[in-house]
Structure 1
Amino acid sequence: MPEHEVGTQEEFDAARAELLAQEKELTRRGDELARKRRDLPWVRVEKDYGFETARGTEPLAELFDGRSQLLVYHFMFGPPYEAGCPVCSSIADTLDPNAVHLKARDVTLICSSRAPVGKLLAYRERMGWSFDWVSAGTGEFHRDLGFVYTEEELRPFLEGEIPGTVRQLAEACGTDVPGYVTEAPGLSCYALADGAVYRTYVTTARGLEPAMAYYGLLDRTPMGRHEEGEDTHWLRRHDEYEKT
């Protein structure tokens, strides 16, 4: 634990009150951004996407499962992977128990990946999740949203110095670096109205942090995320941590 300034209770209370005012302002700003997300123009989904599910092949509209809103987490599990991305797996740990609460608000939550559905369902069983998981296969669903790249597009990155964390995660997935980084994570949202499907929101990168609950909690601990300078990524699948 690093050395840190130690003060009196009165000093803490004064500093905490100042910080609380800023936290409340950030919350109000978050409310404003949430409204702007809802105000985005909808885009009608014209392509006839098909997905392999545990029930067979289904179109996008069927994935709503009788509800009017759909959240899709684009889980990094590409065709050559032998296991899901550890980071995406940590996100799925947060998504899974929330699915039942989202259903109560007319929202269906699923994951979509490009690996064969048999691989996805076997991995889901290993991890103990229950959300619906579909395979987009070789279709264009992930690609159209910017969550799949070609090796040619990634050539500048692949010809440079590959970070150790990328090599670590690729190995953890049972694939090589090109096979790993051609996939990307993301979240996309849809509405179903009068039989038509509309895309309403898309995000990736740090836009996914609301589904990474551990970061919000770590941000409130004395050492925070404490990731600076680490050569390997600390995240593991939940059944791979050493017991302490």
Structure 2
Amino acid sequence: MSGSHGVTFPNESADYRAARHKLLDAEARLREQTEEVACLRRELPLGGVVKSDYVFEEGGRNLADNQTTKLVRLSELFQDEKDSLIIYSFMYGPAMNAPCPMCTSLLDGLNGNALHIRQRVNFAVVAESPLKRIRPFARERGWGNLRLLSSASNTYTADYHGQTPDGAQMPMLNVFTRRGGQIHHFYGTELLYAPFPEGMDARHVDSVWPLWNMLDFTPEGRGTVWYPELRYG
């Protein structure tokens, strides 16, 4: 594989090119492994039928609308022609003084991609806090493209591991699929709960998180002591 593309950059040394070819080989292996993992994921058998057709609270499409509130069932989150539903559990529980900065960073990026995502699948964000806490923060962040739901009146967050038994919020991403008139769980980012090496965190949703992927391209890398904040300056 090394050197097969013939690309070089101005004034680079032979040592640089040799090291870059070694990295290129590793990147190519990672590309293949990433597709292998995606294939294994796609081939999963159906998970269990959902525990309940959960009822969520949802506000109006305009985040400035503080009056509109409606109830929406899990089954109603599926559009007629789309049989997959992705739900991200946003760490903003009723006992938290502020939303999770890490989740906020991730959702800042997903807000920009939500219109594209919804061309293929259904997508929603669920938080345990009531709407009156979720929506003002979403308005501040400009999350006009995200479908934001409150699970304050149901057990979805606990049932699908967006919350620990002691009530701690967890940033779980779950995928559901509709088959033969039933809704099944299909995939959850269980890597969140798996042990990880010292100096590393779960990285269960890093593949959809622009921040860390961009930093990983740099000499400084992502580091181990810096984390995103809700506000800067």
Query: How does the TM-score come out when normalised to structure 1?
Result: 0.76
2:37 equivalent to 1:38? no
**Residue of structure 2 equivalent to 1:133:** 148
Query: How does the TM-score come out when normalised to structure 2?
Result: 0.80
Q: Out of 212, 217, 221, which is 1:220 matched to? A: 217
**Residue of structure 2 equivalent to 1:87:** 102
2:192 equivalent to 1:206? no
User: 1:103-139 deviations in whole A, cap 9, x for unaligned?
Assistant: 222x122100110012111111011012011011142
1: CA distance, partners of 2:26 / 2:165: 43
Query: Is contact 1:74-1:111 (8 Å) kept?
Result: yes
Displacement of 1:211 in angstroms is: 2.5
Query: Is contact 1:70-1:191 (8 Å) kept?
Result: yes
Query: Is contact 1:83-1:123 (8 Å) kept?
Result: no
What is the SS of the residue equivalent to 2:219? Answer: coil
2:63 equivalent to 1:63? no
Q: What percentage of aligned pairs have identical amino acids?
A: 29
2:53 equivalent to 1:48? yes
Q: Mapping of 1:227-242 within 5 angstroms? A: 227=224, 230=225, 233-237=226-230, 240-242=231-233
Q: Which amino acid aligns with 1:72?
A: I
Structure 2 alignment gaps of length 5 or more: 1-10, 60-68, 193-201
Q: Which amino acid aligns with 1:68?
A: D
- More helix by percentage: 1
Query: Is contact 1:79-1:115 (8 Å) kept?
Result: yes
Query: Is contact 2:57-2:149 (8 Å) kept?
Result: yes
What is the SS of the residue equivalent to 2:106? Answer: helix
Structure 1 alignment gaps of length 5 or more: 1-6, 152-180
**Residue of structure 2 equivalent to 1:189:** 175
2:118 equivalent to 1:103? yes
**Residue of structure 2 equivalent to 1:9:** 13
Query: Is contact 2:158-2:165 (8 Å) kept?
Result: no
2: CA distance, partners of 1:236 / 1:10: 41
Q: Which amino acid aligns with 2:221?
A: G
Displacement of 1:8 in angstroms is: 5.7
User: 1:48-88 deviations in whole A, cap 9, x for unaligned?
Assistant: 31111115111101112443211111000101234311110
Structure-2 change in CA distance of 1:197 and 1:9 (3 Å) = same
Q: Which amino acid aligns with 2:110?
A: L
Q: Which amino acid aligns with 1:11?
A: D
2: CA distance, partners of 1:134 / 1:82: 19
After TM superposition, the structure 1 stretch with the greater mean CA deviation from structure 2, 16-25 or 137-146, is 137-146
**Residue of structure 1 equivalent to 2:198:** none
Displacement of 1:193 in angstroms is: 2.9
Displacement of 1:13 in angstroms is: 0.9
**Residue of structure 2 equivalent to 1:116:** 130
Displacement of 1:201 in angstroms is: 0.5
Q: Which amino acid aligns with 2:92?
A: F
Higher relative contact order (CA 8 A, sep 6+): 1
RMSD between aligned residues: 1.8
Query: Is contact 1:52-1:117 (8 Å) kept?
Result: yes
Q: Which amino acid aligns with 2:175?
A: C
